[in-house]
Structure 1
Amino acid sequence: MKVFQLAGSLRTETGKKAAKAIRNNNSIPCIIYGGETVSQFTVEKEAVRKLIYSPEIFLVELTIDGKTCKAIMKDLQFHPVTDAVLHIDFLEVFEEKPIVIDVPVVLDGLAEGVKAGGKLSLEMRKLRVKALYNNVPEQLHINIENLALGKTIQVGQVAFENLEVLSGKNNVICAVKLTRAARGAAAKAGK
């Protein structure tokens, strides 16, 4: 997992007025929980841009007023109209304690069904997994070379080392669907 360095400063004032003043000052109010204490702090808006607007997952090394801890971004709140970031929640992680996180899915290979004229459809871009943060990969690779026309790969059919997949076992990760051209060719071959 990639590491993202982030510096913040503790905040003493809480509430709606304080949060609005923080946002007007080009900062974002944040909270970190999961450890011994809950801390409220602020970070610069530009400092978290790459962390927020990226499909990758990061282990965040937070430095809050000189104290460093490791965390992951757990929740993110956006303004409903302007899409400005309103608040970020961080979950402190420890080496011996498992975390639950969504990991991006990458499909490897060219499916047999695609070679036969089908269309590959990625239904789930991320899978929710539970593991120690040292064992969480940046991406989950799934081999689709043997995926035939009209077939699917479900969550229950894949397994990963040192990970427990929490997404529903019957959820479809990807499928090779018949196209109109493939249906027409099959109908002509059948006549």
Structure 2
Amino acid sequence: MSEVKIPAALRTEFGKGAARRIRRADQVPAVIYGHGAEPKHVSVPGHELLLALRTANVLISLEIDGKSELVIPKAVQRDPIKGFLEHVDLLSVKRGEKVNVEIPVTAEGELAPGGNLLEHVLAALPVEAEATHIPESVTVSVEGLEAGASVLAKDIELPKGVTLAVDEDAVVIQVLAAQAEEAAAEETEEGAEAAEGAEAAPAEEAADDEA
């Protein structure tokens, strides 16, 4: 994974008012944690950070007061309506250091005929990897899988130096029978109709009594 260089500035003002001023200046308030050091509060250019975060677990080289500090994103807060970045927590890392992260899982291939459905039980796979060699994603083949089949964590081929940080028998992907899905949907609809009927009956009885 290549490094993304982004300038950052230390900040001394805190609170909601300060955060709003930072965002109005097209910056994002962020905090750097890690290695037992005191948290470091910085502001980062919003557009550059937004572009960097398009890559999962992106390795960022923050340029602060003439010094470089390697970080990876740990928590990202976005505006629930407009989607812009509100705040980012960053984890300080060192070259050669192992970190626990979650990497996206992508499925490729066609399921066996029958209209079955693919369910991602784990959308992201917990792994341990060197901070400067975190894979962007892992790809799993589901070619020809039939209903009832599943892909376990141990079935996924990981890049060299990357190990699982989850039970090896954890289900990552499974194939659901289309009939089972339809039956479950029908049961849900029937249950809702029965509940509506049960609620309507007392109301009708009450109306009859009043009449």
Give TM-score, length-normalised by structure 1.
0.78
| Structure 1 counterpart of 2:34 | 34
- Give distance in 1, aligned partners of 2:57 and 2:10: 25
1:67-86 pair list within 5 angstroms: 67-86=67-86
CA contact (8 A) 1:26 1:44 kept: yes
Matching residue of 2:142: 144
How many Å apart are 1:81 and its aligned residue? 4.9
Q: CA deviation at 1:166?
A: 2.3
Residue in 2 that maps onto 1:172: 171
* Residue pair 2:121, 2:172 contacting (<8 A) in 1 also: yes
Match runs of 1:1-191 below 5 Å? 1-35=1-35, 36-52=37-53, 54=54, 56-111=56-111, 114-115=112-113, 117-145=115-143, 147-158=145-156, 160=158, 161-169=160-168, 171-180=170-179
Contact 2:32–2:90 (Cα < 8 Å) also in 1: yes
Flag structure 1 segments of 5+ consecutive residues without an equivalent.
Answer: 184-191
Greater mean alpha carbon deviation, residues 8-17 or residues 39-48: 8-17
Cα displacement (A) at 1:103: 0.7
Instruction: From the superposition, tell whether residues 55 and 179 of structure 1 become closer, same or farther in structure 2 (CA, over 3 Å).
Output: farther
For 2:116, give the aligned amino acid: G
Change (3 A) 1:107 1:80: closer
Q: 2:116, 2:176 within 8 Å by CA — same for their partners in 1?
A: yes
* Whole-angstrom CA distance in 1 between matches of 2:49 and 2:23: 14
C-alpha distance in structure 2 between counterparts of 1:99 and 1:11, whole Å: 27
More helix by share: 2
Residue 90 to residue 159, structure 1, CA distance change in 2 (3 Å): same
1:78 Cα deviation after fit: 2.4
Post-superposition shift, 1:91? Answer: 0.8
Deviation (angstroms), 1:68: 0.8
Aligned pair count reads: 179
The alpha-carbon distance between structure 1 residues 93 and 26, as it changes in their structure 2 partners (threshold 3 A), is same
Provide Cα deviations, 1:2-27, integer angstroms capped at 9, x if missing partner.
32221111112223332222122221
Counterpart Cα distance in 2 of 1:128 and 1:162:
14
How much does 1:74 deviate? 1.0
Greater share of strand residues, 1 or 2? 1
Structure 2: distance between partners of 1:30 and 1:118: 44
Q: Distance in 2 between matches of 1:107 and 1:79?
A: 30
**Pairwise CA RMSD:** 2.7
| SS of aligned partner of 1:100 | strand
Shift of 1:28: 1.0
